[in-house]
Amino acid sequence: MTDYSATPPCVIGRKKGFMPGANLTRAEAEGRREIIKAPVRYDVRLDLTQGPRNFESVTKISFDAAQGATTFLDLIADDVKAITLNGVGLDPKGSFVDNRVLLDDLEKHNEVTVTASCRYSTTGEGLHRSVDPSDGNVYLYTQFEVPDARRVYAVFDQPDIKAVFGFSVDAPESWTVLSNKPTESTETVDALTQPGTMGDRPQEGVKRWIFEPTPVMSSYLTAICAGPYAGWHTEYANEDGRTVPMGMYCRQALKDAFAKDVDYLFDITKKGFAFYARTWGVPYPYAKFDQIYVPEYNAGAMENIGLVTIRDQYVFESKVTDALAERRVVTVLHELAHMWFGDYVTMKWWNDLWLNESFAEFTSTLATAEATEWTDAWATFNSGEKSWALRQDQLPTTHPIVAPINDLNDTYVNFDGITYAKGASVLKQLVAYVGRDKFFEGINNYLERHAYANATLSDLLSELALTSGRDLTAWSRQWLEEPGITTISVELAENSDGTIDRLVLRQSADNPESSLRVHRMRVGFYDADRSGSVHRTDVIELDVDGEATVVEQAHGRRIPAVILPNDEDLTYAKIRLDARSLEFAAENLGAFDDALARSVVWLSLWDMTRDGEFPARRFIGSSLSALATETESTTFRYALAQIATTAWHYVDPAHRDETVRHVASSLWDLALNARPGSDEQFQLVNSYLGYGEPGDAEFAAHTRGLLDGSVVLGGLEIDNNLRWRLVTALSRVNLVDDEDVDAELAQRDTTENREFAFGAKAARGTAEAKRWAWDQALTNDDLTNMQLEAVVNGMTGTPRPDLAEPYAEKYFESIDGIWSNRTFHMAEVLIGGLYPVYADPARLVELGDAWLESHRDADRALRRMVIENVEGSRRTLRVQRYNTGL
């Protein structure tokens, strides 16, 4: 699964304190696994002709077990109507307790049938139901990771109880219904859909879709999608001689926009098939491959076997950045990689989640760089994924890549920068360490040995050790089993003739729990030519081991303008340049001719800035200067975000207002001078819109002018999404009101535009608007997941301390109620998003520390969310102190 927060991988339902039955522990899962024996077979029948609140689920499960044992099924349902175990009816009131169906006195061969009324979700968890206001159509899709198959059918919902699944679905006859396998047969049912099923559409006849049985697989990878989706089809000539049917689907309202990209996305997917089969030596293993773009999706995408679900923000009706267009490609290839790594071979328990996500993130970047037109994908990875990992790894909540996962709550919060981005970066280092050919030979052996089964980190390392001839025990301990990051600094001693006397790479550990690591890396020498372009003139490859590594090959060489450790970004570490190189790089950042080298230098400057080692205003100056020539879209995107964070939070508060005005003015000037219609122009305008303040006449003139057409930037089209960004920017400075927003929505009422409208109203720069947004976020249960996110982002995204301050205490007072009464994902949105980041950081730290002290026994996942929020304010204070007077 791709986590959309990074660009990289999700979770689920009404907790009421997350009752024991919903929060499965690892010990419980291991105990159940000892009882349940293969073969396990599910036959699941869903009646989707019902609605709009509930649907019927009937599950028959055949399994072997230890004679006389007791175990349980997972099920989250509004009502269980009947349970039959081995021909004997059980009382649902006594057997269905705490989201579990208790099964006593099992026989060697067992059959259990559970009939339940389950609830459609509007939170992106379980079986999500979305009604498109533009045409009244209803769209359904499932999302089951971490363990949410239990929201749709009774199941042993853990990854190491693999089974064969047979699905049948009753749905309106005009719908498209999809599952993991092709349709085996369909039949007409003598019935009509119930009122409410079709949204605003009239009732119609019912059809039953019966799907072919799946291969042996984990329950969280099963999927059902149903609705009047538009579809396109092609085929792929698989490397094993089979023809693999391929499909793509989206909502009817998006079909015209999607039709422009379908052939391109089919082509990307086919390139992925070929690249992975060639690289791993294992052809695509499944019967079909469908990709369906679905509304109101919490993550980026999900690797359901044969039926990948993808957020339909990836259907581009309006102009998007090249960064997002590239991310769509990476996402498609990420989920395709999971068909092998995660689906074909699956982790035993969630502590090895990184085996799925890190590998998919690494290989999708590799495939993007080597099999598509996005050849600078590793620069994209460094700017986006790597910066995410560095940020996550410096929090007090950091954890090893192989994280301790004691229960499902631990898993939910582990879809993070460590599991995805750090893990992928470490895998890149492992390839450099053992060699690419040996690495992928080991991957081939791992896939073949554990096909359709479950595996662990030990299984993977065993295969890689055999093929590479290296003992990976120490490597695994350093890189995978210890938290934190090390810093590699350059120390340079020079001779009087301008040559290097001694070059030392000095390594230190930020985390006391971390060892100094062995790094295979390259040290690049960079100089400017007569045109001013900075390019690499030499490179040295070596192992960095221990506290100090002398680069012997550098002795006697002429000192270049920049000595760049970790050239080509082969390893995972923080980088510190020597003083001479740092000064040159800060003044000539945009002159580096290689996108990856620029990205590595830029990330080092940013990391120093947020560590309070590089002046905030100088970072802004260097970055603004480099943006004038930068063309790598993701690097551009992250630089803009880093400039904003630095201006609003890290500069000396005495200089904040003038710095913000300087940044806004510079962005507008850069936009005016950017190439007409370019990605850079588009990004600059969008970034500029975040800097408006009430009473800023120049901002008002620019923004109003773009909206009404009196200000024109050549090549910049004011399409639907940009129009809404302009409306939101004007709302933030109180130049449009709620009636204006409603009028804008009335022109085109769509799923996306309703979300934009909620965000625009919540963004208004008045105390009244913030009270409304706060109330909506905490009390309006009718908001969809995406509408809630829009309200939350609008509420806290206004950079006005006076509007944020009243919510500092309210935020901490509300946490317990949110955690007790919301689904995990919705709680995560609220607890993460409502944090009033523009309030006084000292006050937030004081309140946060008090909350944490009084909640020492709170759930670890909850404490982690709060700790990470408060740590952001704590860092702000540290960096502001460093910049005071600078």
Q: How far apart are the first and last CA of the chain?
A: 44
**pTM confidence score:** 0.96
How far apart are alpha carbons 388 and 420 in whole angstroms?
Answer: 9
What secondary structure letter does DSSP report for 378?
H
Give the three-class secondary structure for 60: strand
Q: Is the peptide bond before 133 cis (omega within 30 degrees of 0)?
A: no
Instruction: Give the contacts of 437 (CB within 8 A, at least 6 positions apart).
Output: none
Tally of domains within the chain: 2
Asked whether the CA dihedral 258, 264, 265, 267 is positive or negative, the reply is positive
Which whole-number Å values give the CA distances from 316 to 81, 325, 435, in the listed order? 44, 9, 39
- Asked whether the bond before 39 is cis by omega within 30 degrees of 0, the reply is yes
Cα(727)–Cα(741) distance, integer angstroms: 7
How far, in Å, CA of 688 to CA of 671, rounded?
9
Determine contact, residues 100/140, Cβ cutoff 8 Å: no
Domain membership of residue 88 (yes or no) is yes
Using the predicted structure, report yes or no on whether residue 5 has a pLDDT greater than 60.
no
> In whole angstroms, what is the distance from residue 466 CA to residue 462 CA?
6
pLDDT of residue 16: 33
Residue appearing with tokens 């993460």: 832
Question: Which two tokens mark 72?
Answer: 């349980």
Exposure of 557 by Cβ count < 10 A (0-12 exposed, 13-18 middle, 19+ buried)?
Answer: middle
Closest CA to 254 of 744, 752, 716, 682: 752
CATH number of the CATH domain containing 549: 2.60.40
- The two beta strands, 138-143 and 96-97, are unpaired
Pairing of strands 307-311, 345-347: unpaired
- 1, pLDDT greater than 80: no
- Whether 383 is in a domain gets the answer no
Sequence-distant (≥ 6) Cβ neighbours of residue 460 within 8 angstroms: 355, 442, 446
Q: How far is Cα 180 from Cα 175, in angstroms, rounded to an integer?
A: 17
Q: What percent of the chain has pLDDT over 70?
A: 98
User: What's the CA gap between 867 and 849, in Å, rounded?
Assistant: 8
Provide the 3-class DSSP secondary structure of residue 670. helix
Determine the average pLDDT of the residues in 818-840: 95
Compute the average pLDDT of residues 831-845.
97
- Name the nearest CA neighbour of 460 among 572, 370, 348, 361: 348
Neighbours of 630 (CB within 10 A): 20
d(CA 701, CA 726): 12
Q: Is the pLDDT of residue 268 over 60?
A: yes
Per-residue model confidence (pLDDT) at position 763: 98
Extract the tokens encoding 566: 């970790």
What pLDDT digit, counting tens, does each position of 588-625 carry? Answer: 999 999 999 999 999 999 999 999 999 999 999 999 99
Residue that finishes a domain, picked among 309, 342, 375: 309
Distance CA 266, CA 761 (A): 39
Q: Does the structure show a pLDDT above 50 at 156?
A: yes
d(CA 390, CA 418): 8
Tell me the C-alpha distance between 268 and 126, whole Å.
Answer: 29
In a domain, 64, yes or no: yes
Helix (H, G, I), strand (E, B) or coil at 11: coil
- What does the DSSP assignment read for 556-595? TPBP-SEEEEEETT-S--EEE--HHHHHHHHHSGGGBSSH
Q: What six digits make up the tokens of 405?
A: 């996962």
pLDDT tens readout for residues 7-61:
333 222 333 333 345 789 999 999 999 999 999 999 999 999 998 999 999 999 9
The pLDDT, as a whole number, for residue 2 is 59
Catalytic (active-site) positions: 335
> What's the confidence (pLDDT) of residue 4?
41
**Is residue 110 in some structural domain?**
yes
Q: How far is CA 46 from CA 60, 90, 119, 184, 215, in A?
A: 12, 21, 12, 16, 20
How far apart, in whole angstroms, are the C-alpha atoms of residue 107 and residue 71? 12
Q: Do residues 575 and 565 lie in contact, with contact meaning Cβ atoms separated by under 8 Å?
A: yes
pLDDT in tens, 673-693: 999 999 999 999 999 999 999
| pLDDT value of residue 19 | 38
Residue 320 backbone phi and psi in degrees, to 5: -130, 165
Which secondary structure element, helix H or strand E, spans residue 869, and what is its range?
helix 860-883
* pLDDT of residue 762 exceeding 80: yes
> Could you give phi then psi for residue 317, rounded to 5 degrees?
-80, -30
Q: What is the pLDDT of residue 196?
A: 84
pLDDT on residue 21:
54
- Say which DSSP state 252 is in: G
pLDDT of residue 511: 79
Return the DSSP state at 542: E
pLDDT band with cut points at 50, 70 and 90 for residue 6: very low
Residue 25: count of CB within 10 angstroms of its CB? 15
Q: Which of 104, 81, 100, 106 is nearest to 92 (CA)?
A: 81
Summary mean pLDDT of the chain = 94
Number of residues assigned to the chain: 886
- pLDDT over 80 at 271, yes or no: yes
Q: What is the pLDDT of residues 91-134, one digit of tens each?
A: 999 999 999 999 999 999 999 999 999 999 999 999 999 999 99
CA-based Rg of the chain, rounded to a whole angstrom?
A: 28
Read off the pLDDT of residues 708-756 as tens digits, 9 standing for 90 and up.
Answer: 999 999 999 999 999 999 999 999 999 999 999 999 999 999 999 999 9
What SS3 class is residue 194? coil
Assigned domain for 534 exists:
yes
Q: Please give the Cα distance from 558 to 556 (Å, whole number).
A: 7
CA quadruple 179, 185, 191, 192: dihedral sign:
positive
Contact 290, 307 (CB under 8 A): yes
The rounded distance, in Å, linking the Cα atoms of 185 and 763 is 51
Q: How far is residue 126's CA from residue 120's CA, in Å, rounded to a whole number?
A: 7
HEC secondary structure over 410-469: HHHCCCCCHHHHHHHHHHHHHHHHHCHHHHHHHHHHHHHHCCCEEECHHHHHHHHHHHHC
Sequence-distant (6+) residues with CB within 8 A of 836 are 796, 804, 805, 807, 808, 811, 844
Integer angstrom CA distances of residue 535 from 317, 397, 540, 594: 39, 39, 15, 7
Cα separation of 277 and 398, whole Å? 35
Q: Please state the rounded mean pLDDT for residues 191-201.
A: 86
Query: For residue 557, is it within any domain?
Result: yes
Residue pointed to by tokens 């850069």: 670
Sheet of strand 176-179, all strands in order from the earlier edge strand to the far edge: 126-131, 138-143, 224-227, 176-179
Say if residue 350's pLDDT is above 70.
Answer: yes
Tokens of 560: 């270049």
Tokens (6 digits) for 655: 């200089």
Q: Which domain covers residue 561, as residue numbers?
A: 486-571+573-580
Query: Do the domain assignments include residue 109?
Result: yes
Residue 551 lies in a domain: yes
- Where does a domain end: 546, 580, 614? 580
The helix/strand count (H/E) of the chain reads as 30, 29
Cα–Cα distance for residue pair 14/149, rounded to 1 Å: 15
- The Cα 729–Cα 692 span in angstroms is 7
Q: What is the CATH number of the domain that holds 48?
A: 2.60.40.1730
